[in-house]
Amino acid sequence: MSLCPKLMITKLSLRPSLVVLIYRMMKSWVPKSPKDFVPLYQDFENFYNRNLYMRIRDSWNRPICSVPGAKVDMMERVSHDYNWTFTYTGRVIKDIINMGSYNYLGFAQKAGTCQEAAAKVLSQYGAGVCSTRQEMGNLDKHEELEKLVARFLGVESAMAYGMGFATNSMNIPALVGKGCLILSDELNHASLVLGARLSGATIRIFKHNNMQSLEKLLKDAIVHGQPRTRRPWKKILILVEGIYSMEGSIVRLPEVIALKKKYKSYLYLDEAHSIGALGPTGRGVVEYFGLSPEDVDVMMGTFTKSFGAAGGYIGGKKELIDYLRTYSHSAVYATSLSPPVVEQIITSMKCIMGEDGTTVGVNCLLYLRSLNTDLS
């Protein structure tokens, strides 16, 4: 009887060692990457995918076969090998509650004003442009969209892009490079992180929405300059989001702008989740705080959320947009926005602005605001 407690203690003390041993054995089973090649997966990613994610994989990446409304239709699938592969049964599961869509204002529908306008443009222009904006892919619809976006934002000029992610990842490298400094919020989106890394600029991270952390980095940047040479930075660019999608927090924009002005730096604002949904008339976090668009050097946003479409935009001074039209990889090499998609954006934006002659956009904003109030 006296040995039992000791045995129990020994067993408990061995458990952590056993876990480590098992992990090391599994690590040794993973084939090593060839010399001089970057590994495709880290060891922990392999461990997570095989032993955790695979068990619950059926809960993710399930294809839907309807518009992303409040309820969606989903294709039924089964697995006979513990979620390694799936087989579709041919059945459709109806009226699944949609808890993960970006369709904030409900414009991504199969009927209504937006759908009718997009269908009309589809019959006139076709589905694709098959060229870049600098060659044969610049349509009158693209020009109309960019003028409308500039007016909606209250800026001098704007440019539209075919992909929201690429709007960040391909334009940041055109704005900063070697000898420049990027100050990035620690919870910024992957597109901002990738764009910063591709730029070749030095990157420093400040704590999420922490103005003391940001100001300390700005002070250090001004005082010490570039490493080794101590020369002043060519540019200092602050990267923030309007609404951080995974946390739901709103950027402390008035304080960020105050610091930007104090230390003579530039501000890049990603309004992917706030444009169209935040502010009295849906003009984003700048309107929400009652600030001037002129205080933000680069206003970026996407059309994939509130406008129920695809693509992104950058707005700002005319000199900035003219520069990006020439030097942005996304502008020079990427295919132009599809005409029906452009029309979807134009129609939904006019609805939000109240220029369609109805109160549809206003009602959508009021309904979204009431939901936020109820949830809070």
Which CATH number do you get for residue 281? Answer: 3.40.640.10
Residues 195, 137 within the same domain: yes
Domain membership of residue 56 (yes or no) is yes
Domain membership of residue 132 (yes or no) is yes
Residues 143, 257 within the same domain: yes
Residues 258, 206 within the same domain: yes
Q: Is 330 assigned a catalytic role? A: no
Please name which of 372, 278, 271, 277 lies closest in space to residue 315, comparing C-alpha atoms. Answer: 271
Domain membership of residue 4 (yes or no) is no
pLDDT on residue 53:
86
pLDDT mean over 340-363: 93
Domain membership of residue 275 (yes or no) is yes
pLDDT on residue 99:
83
Residues 238, 268 within the same domain: yes
Residue-wise pLDDT for 102-121, tens only, equals 888 989 888 889 999 999 99
Residues 363, 304 within the same domain: yes
Distance CA 254, CA 208 (A): 15
Find the catalytic residue in 305, 306, 336, 338.
Answer: 305
Residues 93, 118 within the same domain: no
pLDDT on residue 38:
58
Residue 73 φ/ψ, nearest 5 degrees: -100, 140
Q: Which residues pair with 72 in a beta bridge?
A: 96
Residues 267, 151 within the same domain: yes
Total domains, the chain: 2
Residues 81, 129 within the same domain: no
Residues 159, 265 within the same domain: yes
Residue 211 pLDDT exceeds 60:
yes
pLDDT on residue 304:
93
Please name which of 173, 224, 162 lies closest in space to residue 201, comparing C-alpha atoms. Answer: 173
Residues 125, 91 within the same domain: no
DSSP for 209-250, please give it. T-HHHHHHHHHHHHHH-STTT-PPPS-EEEEEESB-TTT-PB
pLDDT on residue 59:
82
pLDDT mean over 86-93: 94
Distance CA 96, CA 72 (A): 5
pLDDT on residue 30:
53
Boundary (domain end) residue, out of 97, 121, 153: 97
Boundary (domain end) residue, out of 39, 73, 97: 97
pLDDT mean over 232-240: 97
Domain membership of residue 10 (yes or no) is no
pLDDT on residue 1:
43
The more confidently predicted of residues 342 and 59 is 342
Handedness of CA 281, 284, 286, 290 (dihedral sign): positive
Query: CB under 8 Å to 254, separation ≥6 — which residues?
Result: 289, 291
355 SS3 class = coil
Find the catalytic residue in 169, 273, 306, 336.
Answer: 273
Return the top range by mean pLDDT from 110-114, 244-248, 263-267. 263-267
Distance CA 190, CA 51 (A): 25
pLDDT mean over 298-313: 95
Domain membership of residue 48 (yes or no) is yes
Residue-wise pLDDT for 3-18, tens only, equals 444 433 333 344 555 5
Residues 233, 351 within the same domain: yes
pLDDT on residue 109:
86
Q: Is 224 assigned a catalytic role? A: no
pTM of this prediction exceeds 0.85: no
Residue 141 pLDDT exceeds 80:
yes
Domain membership of residue 106 (yes or no) is no
Residues 166, 93 within the same domain: no
Q: Is 348 assigned a catalytic role? A: no
- 3-state SS record for 104-169: CCCCCCCCCHHHHHHHHHHHHHCCCCCCECCCCCCCHHHHHHHHHHHHHHCCCEEEEECCHHHHHH
Find the catalytic residue in 66, 213, 245, 249.
Answer: 245
Boundary (domain end) residue, out of 29, 64, 97: 97
Output the average pLDDT for the chain: 88
Range of the domain at 134: 113-375
Domain membership of residue 5 (yes or no) is no
